[in-house]
């Protein structure tokens, strides 16, 4: 692995210039989970509430939540008071848990997860860069819980009120 990487201020800055993108599944799914986390302890959250809060269609919510339900991250409740709720506390679900369920591997190139896919993997001069990028991404995602994101959101939503 490369040590003391210092291009554009380090690997974290360098991540911003890489041509990697997360799909809408990962981006929207994480937002939906933050919405459920913000309602944790209140019972099932109706799909209409989540759709309104996040600007995501009810149909797409059902698709994403189905995947997360199979993974054991959420529970669904049917009926007039039904909806979705977290299966564990928001402090116990990391952003890595959500993103990896919806996106799969978080590696920038295939040879990081599967070295056998590239005949150059053992001697490739750039593979260490991609391994370090993948490790950094995973480290960031594993370091943040849904509760961290809820607290961050609440901090941003609390703008001072100067009206008299």
Query: Can you give the CATH number for the domain in which 20 is found?
Result: 1.10.10.10
Per-residue pLDDT at 156 exceeds 70: yes
What confidence score (pLDDT) does residue 157 get? 63
Domain annotation covers residue 113 = no
What sections of 55-159 are H helices per DSSP?
58-70, 95-103, 110-113, 127-143, 146-157
Q: Which two tokens stand for residue 145?
A: 């819980």
Dihedral-angle region of residue 162 (phi above 0 means left; psi in -120 to 50 means alpha; beta otherwise): alpha
Q: Does any domain span residue 4?
A: no
Q: Is the pLDDT of residue 53 over 90?
A: yes
Q: What percent of the chain has pLDDT over 70?
A: 83
Task: Give the pTM.
Answer: 0.78
Q: What pLDDT is recorded for position 106?
A: 80
Q: Is residue 132 part of a domain?
A: no
Contacts for 1 with CB less than 8 Å, ≥ 6 apart: 128, 131, 132, 135
Tens of pLDDT, residues 60-78: 999 999 999 999 999 999 9
Q: Does a structural domain hold residue 38?
A: yes
Domain encompassing residue 85: 11-105+145-156
Neighbouring residues of 134: CB distance < 8 A, sequence distance ≥ 6: 106, 107, 108, 112, 113
Give a yes or no: residue 62 inside a domain: yes
Domain count, the chain: 1
Q: What does the pLDDT read at residue 59?
A: 96
Cβ atoms of 144 and 95 within 8 Å: the answer is yes
Establish if 29 belongs to a structural domain. yes
Residue 49 lies in a domain: yes
Q: What is the pLDDT of residue 92?
A: 98
pLDDT of 45: 97
Could you tell me where the DSSP H helices lie in 16-104?
Answer: 24-38, 47-54, 58-70, 95-103
Q: Is residue 16 part of a domain?
A: yes
């Amino acid at each position: 692995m490369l040590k003391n990487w210092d291009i554009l201020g380090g690997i974290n800055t360098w991540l911003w210039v890489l041509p990697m993108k997360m799909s809408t599944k990962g981006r929207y799914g994480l937002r939906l989970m933050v919405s459920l986390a913000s309602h944790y302890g209140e019972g099932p959250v109706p799909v209409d509430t989540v759709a309104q809060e996040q600007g995501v269609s009810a149909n797409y919510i059902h698709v994403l939540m189905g995947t997360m339900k199979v993974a054991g991250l959420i529970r669904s409740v049917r009926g007039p008071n039904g909806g979705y709720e977290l299966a564990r506390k928001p402090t116990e679900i990391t952003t890595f848990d959500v993103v990896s369920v919806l996106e799969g591997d978080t590696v920038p190139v295939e040879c990081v997860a599967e070295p056998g896919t590239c005949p150059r993997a053992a001697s490739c001069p750039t593979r260490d860069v991609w391994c370090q990028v993948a490790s950094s991404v995973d480290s960031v995602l594993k370091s943040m819980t849904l509760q961290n994101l809820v607290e961050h959101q609440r901090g941003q939503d609390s703008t001072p009120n100067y009206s008299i």
